[in-house]
Amino acid sequence: MKRVKKFIYQRSTSCYTQQCCVPLCHASAKYNSVVSFFSFPSDQQIRHRWLVAIRRDDLEIKKSARVCSRHFPKGDIRKPKSEKGRPLLKPGSVPVLFEWNNYSLAPPRSSFWEGESRPPEEETAVPDLRDILAEHDYSVPYDPALVDEENTTVQELDGNWIEKFGIHKFASSDKDIRFFTRFASFDLLMRFWALIEPALPFMAKFRLAQGGMLNEGSSDGRALHPIEECFMFLNYLALGSELQDLADRYRVHQATVCRVIISWSNFLYTILGSVRIWIPQEQIQKHMPAVFEDYSDTTVILTCSELMCQTPSLPILPREVISQYVSHATLKGLIGLAPHGAVTFVSELYTGLIIDKQIVRESGLRSLLKPEMAVMVDKDFIIDDILPCRIYRPAFLFEKSQTSASDLRVHVERSIRRVKERKLFESEFPIHLFGSINQIYTVACLLVNYENGPFVESMSEEDNLDDKLSLQASVLEA
Cβ 443 vs Cβ 433: under 8 Å? no
Identify whether residues 57 and 172 lie together within a single domain: no
Answer whether residue 154 is part of any domain: no
Cβ 66 vs Cβ 49: under 8 Å? no
Domain membership of residue 217 as a residue range? 167-273
Neighbours of 83 (CB within 10 A): 5
Distance from C-alpha of 324 to C-alpha of 335, rounded to nearest angstrom = 20
Q: Is the pLDDT of residue 476 over 90?
A: no
More confident: 147 or 101: 101
Identify whether residues 292 and 441 lie together within a single domain: yes
Identify whether residues 266 and 298 lie together within a single domain: no
Model pLDDT, residue 431 = 77
Identify whether residues 230 and 335 lie together within a single domain: no
Model pLDDT, residue 443 = 92
Answer whether residue 185 is part of any domain: yes
Answer whether residue 287 is part of any domain: yes
Q: Is the pLDDT of residue 373 over 70?
A: yes
Cβ 310 vs Cβ 429: under 8 Å? yes
pLDDT in tens, 97-144: 888 888 777 766 655 555 555 556 555 555 554 554 444 444 444 444
Answer whether residue 118 is part of any domain: no
**DSSP code, position 452:** S
Answer whether residue 49 is part of any domain: yes
Identify whether residues 291 and 437 lie together within a single domain: yes
Q: Reduced to 3 states, what is the DSSP secondary structure of residue 226?
A: helix
Select from 273, 295, 330 the last residue of a domain.
Answer: 273
More confident: 323 or 26: 26
Identify whether residues 286 and 423 lie together within a single domain: yes
φ, ψ dihedrals at 441, nearest 5°: -65, -45
Identify whether residues 268 and 290 lie together within a single domain: no
The CATH number assigned to the domain holding 431 equals: 3.30.420
Answer whether residue 147 is part of any domain: no
Identify whether residues 266 and 290 lie together within a single domain: no
Q: Which residues, at least 6 apart from 100, have a Cβ–Cβ distance to it below 8 Å?
A: 24
pLDDT in tens, 320-372: 555 544 556 788 899 999 998 889 999 998 877 788 888 888 888 888 999 99
Kindly state the helix (H) or strand (E) to which residue 351 belongs, with its residue range. Answer: strand 350-351
Orientation angle between helical segments 254-273 and 200-210, nearest 10 degrees: 130
pLDDT band at residue 37 under the 50/70/90 scheme: confident
Distance from C-alpha of 385 to C-alpha of 411, rounded to nearest angstrom = 27
Select from 273, 299, 331 the last residue of a domain.
Answer: 273
Identify whether residues 320 and 195 lie together within a single domain: no
Select from 273, 296, 317 the last residue of a domain.
Answer: 273
Answer whether residue 159 is part of any domain: no
Model pLDDT, residue 322 = 52
Tally of structural domains, the chain: 3
Rounded mean pLDDT, 38-61:
85
Identify whether residues 336 and 300 lie together within a single domain: yes
Q: Is the pLDDT of residue 166 over 60?
A: yes
Kindly state the helix (H) or strand (E) to which residue 246 belongs, with its residue range. Answer: helix 243-250
Answer whether residue 395 is part of any domain: yes
Q: Apex CA 370: angle with CA 365 and CA 374, to 5°? A: 80
Task: Give the least confident one: 239-243, 253-257, 378-382.
Answer: 378-382
Identify whether residues 260 and 390 lie together within a single domain: no
Identify whether residues 326 and 385 lie together within a single domain: yes
- State CA 311 to chain mean position distance: 17
Cβ 306 vs Cβ 352: under 8 Å? yes
